[in-house]
Structure formats: structure tokens, C-alpha cells
A and B are shown apart, each in its own frame.
Chain A
């Protein structure tokens, strides 16, 4: 069995899957949180704090975009 499973690769697979799956979900959740708080706070007149949440949402979306580009590049390198 040990010859059939490369344990090091398996651990890397587990770690990468956890980081990618949780990371992308976290980034989207933060983007949604930031965007929603931005809308709410701007409506209440707190423009400066609202701007901070808008920046947070933008950063989170940028992280998602980077993850997608990285993923496509991984697939493209498989050949």
C-alpha cells in the first residue's frame, strides 16, 4: 500500500484542497460582507467607514480573481 500512495503528495493534496476551498469561500464571504456593509453604511451617511468596507470587498474579489487565474494556469500546465 505504501508504494501505491505517495504520502507526501497526499498531504500536499489535502493541504492545497483545504487552502483553496476554504480560501475561495472565505474570500467570497468577505466580499459579500464588505459590499453589504458598504451599502448599509453609505445609506446611513457613514461615507468614510463605508469606503473602508468597499475596499475590503474589492480586495477580496481581487483575491478570488487571482485564485481563478492561478487555477486556469495550473490546468494549462497539465499537458
Chain B
């Protein structure tokens, strides 16, 4: 009975993480659309939400990696997964508050790794899997996206740079609808699956099925897709503002180049089974679209803050996961610890969401 209650709390927490993942990463797909006025803010997040929902049903490859490739599924427990999720949600909210587009994937993996380290020690963490699936891609993704976007914007200016500004801008804005849609779809295929993977990890820890029999039940797919779509529709306006307006002052050609480069890198990495953070990719692409025009077009101070958040994400979320695990153990091994911590987290989320809604209205009104 007690373990069932913990499982219910873990699933609810995983879906709450999925929601924060959606609103934290909305900026990945819509920031460039909004800043170049290709779409209104509400329409942009609506389109992104629908495409995230659809994309969530396409594949379970990322879910399998998260569920089996980072920590030993057999050594995990529902309390560890719960603590990891709270650590990830906490870091997502901190970076959202400061408007920093950090990786939700890294926050989730960091949280689970930290809780696992606190509970079972280093042997339970797959160090090689962590380096291969998380750390190396974190270095490669933004650099590659930056380079592709920098070359792409030079090409765009060469071909269409001397056209009358009106028709050219309208054309690039129309193109952004296609590339922005692709980004949202790709995001859904990657990020909704992380929550699916973590829920399945909890189901394995609870004994519903074994790691060797890894699969994603339909109810897990539907609930994860719905949570990320709702989070996306809620919109993380602070990060949208950073990504769309603070890194570079973006024109429509730069918006298209950044989105095309971001989509290409994400899709190519999916094709070759190389797990990249969509946040790192699109942030790098936005910087590249600015740097391709001229290096001074990028506000490198803002870019530096974003890079610092990327570096801090894994250890900070891991520390959060470890602390939450310790906190839950204060109340013993039963459901009381997760229940107390989750009630505290829900209260915090309610306060933060209320503030976010107010900011969303402000940005929407500005246009």
C-alpha cells in the first residue's frame, strides 16, 4: 500500500516535471518566431504545444536511454526517482526565474544521478553512459549548431540580402513557420520521452515489470504528451525573452537560419542516435545566426551566463536530487517523506505559476 502511494506520487511528480519541461523549453521553438513577429506569442505557443503533443508519440528511443542508459534500473527505487525529479524541477524553476535556457534533459539526468549517488553510491551510476550520452553531446551540440547557423545566415544574406526588405522579410517569416514547426515536432519526440523513461524507471523499481522487458505503456505516453503540451502552451516567457531578444537583435532571415540550423542538427542527431539537448542546439544556433552577421551582434555577456547555467545544470540538479533524497529519508522509507516534499513542491509551483501567468499576459500584450 505504502509503495503504491509512493508510485502515485512519483508519477504525479514526473508529470509535473514534464509540465515544467514544456514551459521551460517553449522558447526553443517559439522565441525566434515571436521576436521576428512571424507569429503572435499565443499562436506560436499554441502551434508548438500541438506539435509537441504529436511528436511525443513518434518514438521511444529517448525513453529507453533515460530508463536504462544512465543509472542501473535494477538498483533504482521509487524514492530515488522522486528525489531526482524534485531536484530537476527545482533547477528548472531556478533557471526559468533567471531567464536562462538550460537543458531540462540534463536537469532530469543530474537529479536522478545525484539521488542515486546519495542512495546507492557511485557503482549504481553508469559513468561511461553519462559521459557518452550527456557530457560529450553537451560540448558538441552548441558548437555545431553555432557553426551551421553562422554559415546559413551568410548564405541567406548573399542570396536575398539585396531584395526589397518588405517582401524578403515576409518570405523569411513564412519560412519560419515551417522550421519552427519542425523544431516543436522534434522537441516533442525527444523531451516528452524523458518523462516516459523516468515513469517506466519508477515502474521497474516498483516491480511492475523488469528492465529486460522495457516498454512504455499507452497511459504513460498519453499523460506525458499531454503534460508537455500543456506546459508548452503555458509558455516560459522569461526564457523566450532571453532567447528571442537578449542574445541577438534578430531579423527574420536570422530567425529562419537559426531554426533551420537547429532543426537540421536535432534531426541529424536523432538519425545517427546522438542524443543532443534541444536547448543547447537552438541557443547555439541563435548565437551563430548573430555571429554570422557580425561577431559584435551577439551579446556575449548573456551568452556567457547561458553557458554557465549549462555547466552548472548537472551538478546543481544532482545536488538537489541528493538533498531531497536525504530529506525524504528523514521521514523513513515509507510514503511520508515523498508526500511532505511533494506538498512543499506543489505549493512552490503554485506561487511561481501565478507569477508566470502575469508575465505572460504582459508579453502577449506587447506583441
Contact = CB atoms under 8 A, between A and B. Distances in A.
Interface of A: 4-5, 9-10, 12-14, 16-26, 28-33, 35-36, 39, 64, 68, 71-72, 74-76, 78-79
Contacts of A39: 167
Interface string B260-272: 1111110111111
A17 B265 CA distance: 5
B256 interface: yes
A24, A64, A68, A74 pick with most chain B CB within 10 angstroms: A24
A25 B59 contact: no
A72 B172 contact: no
A78 B156 CA distance: 31
B144 interface: yes
A30 B175 CA distance: 12
A17 B168 contact: no
A54 B230 CA distance: 41
A39 B171 CA distance: 13
Contacts of B149: 21
Contact of B136 (A4, A71, A72): A4
Sorted nearest first, the 10 A-B pairs with minimum C-beta distance are: A20-B264, A32-B171, A21-B264, A21-B261, A29-B159, A78-B59, A16-B268, A21-B148, A25-B152, A28-B175
B261 A17 contact: yes
A20 B159 contact: no
B271 A74 contact: yes
Nearest to A26: B155
B152 A36 contact: no
Contact of B272 (A13, A35, A76): A13
Contacts of B285: 21
B61 A78 contact: yes
A25 B185 CA distance: 19
A53 to B, nearest CB: 12
Nearest to A71: B267
Contacts of B151: 18, 21-22
13 contacts: A4-B132, A9-B272, A13-B268, A20-B260, A21-B265, A22-B155, A25-B156, A26-B155, A32-B159, A64-B175, A68-B178, A68-B182, A79-B59
A22 B268 contact: no
Interface in B249-297: 253, 256-257, 260-265, 267-274, 285
A75 B261 contact: no
A64 to B, nearest CB: 7
Interface in B146-196: 147-149, 151-153, 155-156, 159-160, 163-164, 167-168, 171-172, 175, 178-179, 182, 185-186, 189
